[in-house]
Amino acid sequence: MVERDRFADEKQKTPLKDIEGYGYGKGYTKALEDWRGLLKDLETLSAKGMHVILLAHSWVKSFKNPAGEDYDRYELKLHQKAAGLIKEWAESVLFMNYETFAKKDERTKRVRGIDTGARLIFTERRAAYDAKHRGNLPESLPLSWADFEAESAKEVDPKAFAAEILCRAAELAPDVQKLVAETVEKAAGNVQSLININNRVNARLAEKQAQEEEG
């Protein structure tokens, strides 16, 4: 791990007991220098035509919700400073999990989780996890490189994509709908701009869903 390696290197030079020996949070800030160096090296590989994939575990953390009650969600099992840097750098942040449903027993009224055994990739942010993509990927798809590559290679129809964004934005407040419509119009069919708008709309919808679940 980058933070661990940073501390191991510095421990040879200074009598630090652990990475917090730099001062509160400062050790992880120093480790960002190493993360940036790593990402720069990965960009070099990407420029040569190589696919770069970073894998990480997740853990459940409480999300401090400024708009309402706090709730738990999956996050990268990584210090938040490094996690933020990597999520911003990556073209796609994908959440992988088993396909799971909640089923209520009508007799006992107890709810239990049921999974189908299918492993899926989730591409859009939800209250329970982070995700994003720079493309018109479906909300979920099988955990398969062949499926991911095939979906990523599909051409995006700007008009259809814009219509889909406006349709999804219709679930938001009127002032937000108006802002989305204006932004889509300014995008003038530019796919990358539409992707950015779509990601923002998805984030708003995820926040709305979380608030409704709390209520």
Q: Is residue 118 part of a domain?
A: no
- Contact, 123 vs 138, CB < 8 A? yes
Element containing residue 162 per DSSP (H, E): helix 158-169
pLDDT tens for the 215 residues of the chain, in order: 555 554 455 544 555 555 555 555 566 777 788 888 898 898 888 878 888 899 999 999 998 888 888 889 999 998 888 888 888 888 889 999 998 887 887 888 787 878 888 999 999 989 899 998 866 788 999 999 999 988 887 777 888 889 988 998 999 999 999 999 999 999 998 887 887 787 778 777 766 765 665 45
Residue 82 has which token pair? Answer: 């490094």
The string of pLDDT tens digits covering residues 132-179 is 886 678 899 999 999 998 888 777 788 888 998 899 899 999 999 999
Q: Is residue 96 part of a domain?
A: no
Return the number of other C-beta atoms located less than 10 Å from residue 129's C-beta: 20
Which domain covers residue 169, as residue numbers?
Answer: 155-215
Q: Is residue 136 part of a domain?
A: no
pTM over 0.75: no
Report the number of distinct structural domains present in the chain. 1
User: d(Cα 81, Cα 156) in Å, to the nearest integer?
Assistant: 33
User: d(Cα 122, Cα 19) in Å, to the nearest integer?
Assistant: 34
